[in-house]
């Protein structure tokens, strides 16, 4: 429960339970290959952004660069794609190509049925006379009108545009040289291509993505790396290096990453057309209001036909999620090997558990943001608030986390294996690792505090839009002085909060007491 004095009043709110997500869930956009479940993309904020906090002069030269160089003991053993991975690629590629073609085939079949009706059912007029002819006309023309509406609704999804990406901002080698140096040395150690661009975002994950979307598939290694600043705040440099190795491992997957991008686009398209509604749907829903029943039945027939069409789409979506999940899980196991061999099996396990803990803190932070907003205040540093919530985890919450960790099972629609299975696979490698460092990952960033506040502002703009004003931002330290009970204190932990890794939709959490 959070309470903040405001004009003599006190507003309190209990933390809502973490609800289990229904499966299958609509796939997220853009490509987000982290170890967790994909999160829905937030709308891009308007171009008018909050003025950046003044950039303080960079600190004196530190030893971080030398520490990074000393931390590496050599390259990792090359990672080879398993036979299961290669077979999954072949099978999934064929199935995912067939699904859109199947939908186009269904459209052609529906058009053929209405054509048969138009060319054969006109004989009804030869058997009726007088006023019965009007009824015959309705019976003949009604299905044709309903069919035209149905076909338009079936064609509309083919032109559906993708959802907006999460808003992010780029960093440069001049501004953050240590980040780029670490990425370059990890890429060299694991034999992966370098990203063309590195961006930071307010999210509890990291991601490998194509820089220009679909076009990048034909432009070689036109890749970008997304780094969640709140994620950085909770990891050591060694753990963070492992996360980056996992992401660069996805870069090394080449054809697999391109195939996964196409799969996610197809699954995302199916999810949008099945679950999303637009002005066309609203028009059809209200079209029958006040209409003569002799005409209204035609629109009712069209609605039934459209529902059946979306039922077919739902079946195709389910099939696509089930089949593509096989490949996605194999891709995660493959990328896990890059991380395991860079930082070692023990660090992989610790990082996975740490992600689980941070994800619970992230959920509590999003809840806190809502409560603060209702009081006219917004914390200016999400990363600091996440760590506060993580440090406030009670023994009861930690017990629930252990139970979830020990009992969760990988589902047929999951794009990532459960963390217990991933840790077991990493342990079988028994890798000692080739990189060591106990420094905080935040030491890498020259302008870490400014980036924390900038990406927090980006988050508010993406979620709240122009309604949020700069004067709503309040020092996180000041807000935390009035927090009576952290949101994580009574938060139930369910499989929906299961741990996830930084390059996937799910984010992991540590189980240490």
**Owner of token pair 């505090």:** 449
For residue 395, pLDDT over 80 is answered with: yes
pLDDT digit string (tens) for 12-51?
333 334 333 334 444 333 333 334 444 433 434 333 333 4
CA angle 43, 46, 50 (to 5 degrees): 115
Q: Write b or e for each residue in 308-332: b if 16 or more Cβ atoms lie within 10 A of its Cβ, otherwise e.
A: ebbeebbebbbbbbebbbbbbbbbb
pLDDT at 211: 67
pLDDT at 183: 94
- Residue 11's H or E segment, with its range, is strand 9-11
pLDDT digit string (tens) for 206-242?
987 766 655 555 565 678 899 999 999 999 999 999 9
pLDDT digit string (tens) for 264-306?
778 877 777 777 666 677 777 776 676 777 777 788 888 888 8
DSSP string for 253-288: TTHHHHHHHHHHHHHHHHHHHHH---HHHHHHHHTT
Residue 447 · residue 176 · CB < 8 Å: yes
Report d(CA 499, CA 358) in Å as an integer. 9
pLDDT digit string (tens) for 298-334?
888 888 888 888 888 888 889 888 888 888 888 899 8
pLDDT at 162: 54
For residue 470, pLDDT over 70 is answered with: yes
Report d(CA 432, CA 304) in Å as an integer. 61
Higher-confidence position of 465 and 248: 248
pTM of the entire structure?
Answer: 0.73
């Amino acid at each position: 429960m959070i309470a903040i004095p405001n004009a003599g009043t006190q507003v309190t709110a209990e933390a809502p339970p973490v609800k289990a997500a229904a499966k299958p869930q609509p796939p997220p956009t853009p490509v987000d290959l982290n170890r967790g479940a994909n999160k829905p993309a937030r709308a891009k904020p308007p171009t008018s952004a909050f003025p950046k906090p003044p950039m303080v002069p960079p600190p004196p030269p530190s030893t971080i660069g030398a520490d990074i160089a000393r931390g590496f003991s050599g390259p990792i053993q090359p990672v080879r794609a398993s036979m299961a991975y290669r077979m999954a690629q072949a099978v999934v590629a064929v199935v995912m190509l067939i699904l859109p073609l199947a939908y186009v085939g269904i459209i052609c079949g529906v058009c053929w049925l209405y054509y048969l009706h138009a060319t054969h059912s006109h004989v009804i007029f030869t058997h009726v006379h007088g006023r019965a002819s009007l009824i015959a006309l309705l019976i003949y023309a009604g299905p044709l009108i309903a069919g035209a509406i149905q076909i338009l609704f079936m064609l509309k999804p083919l032109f559906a545009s993708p959802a907006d990406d999460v808003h992010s901002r780029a960093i440069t080698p001049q501004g953050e040289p240590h980040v780029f140096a670490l990425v370059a040395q990890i890429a060299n150690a694991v034999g992966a291509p370098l990203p063309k661009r590195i961006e930071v975002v307010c999210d509890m994950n990291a991601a490998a993505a194509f820089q220009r979307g679909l076009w990048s598939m034909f432009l070689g290694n036109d890749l970008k790396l997304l780094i969640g600043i709140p994620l950085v705040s909770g990891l050591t440099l060694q753990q963070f290096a492992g996360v980056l190795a996992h992401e660069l491992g996805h870069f090394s997957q080449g054809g697999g990453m391109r195939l996964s991008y196409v799969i996610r686009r197809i699954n995302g398209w199916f999810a949008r057309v099945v679950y999303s509604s637009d002005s066309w749907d609203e028009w059809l829903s209200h079209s029958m209001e006040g209409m003569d029943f002799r005409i209204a039945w035609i629109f009712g027939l069209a609605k039934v036909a459209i529902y059946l069409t979306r039922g077919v789409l739902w079946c195709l979506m389910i099939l696509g999620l089930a089949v593509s999940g096989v490949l996605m899980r194999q891709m995660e196991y493959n990328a896990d090997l890059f991380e395991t061999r860079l930082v070692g099996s023990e660090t992989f396990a610790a990082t996975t558990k740490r992600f689980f803990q941070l994800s619970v803190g992230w959920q509590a932070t999003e809840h806190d943001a809502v409560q603060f907003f209702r009081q006219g205040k917004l914390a200016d540093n999400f990363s600091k608030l996440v760590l506060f919530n993580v440090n406030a985890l009670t023994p009861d919450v930690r017990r629930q986390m252990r139970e979830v960790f020990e009992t969760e099972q990988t589902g047929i629609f999951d794009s990532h294996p459960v963390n217990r299975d991933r840790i077991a696979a990493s342990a079988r490698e028994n890798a000692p690792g080739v990189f060591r460092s106990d420094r905080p990952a935040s030491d890498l960033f020259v302008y870490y505090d400014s980036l924390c506040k900038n990406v927090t502002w980006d988050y508010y703009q993406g979620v709240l839009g122009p309604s949020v004003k700069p004067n709503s931002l309040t020092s996180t330290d000041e807000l935390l002085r009035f927090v009576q009970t952290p949101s994580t204190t009574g938060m139930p932990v369910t499989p929906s909060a299961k741990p996830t890794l930084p390059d996937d939709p799910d984010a992991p959490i540590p189980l240490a007491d």
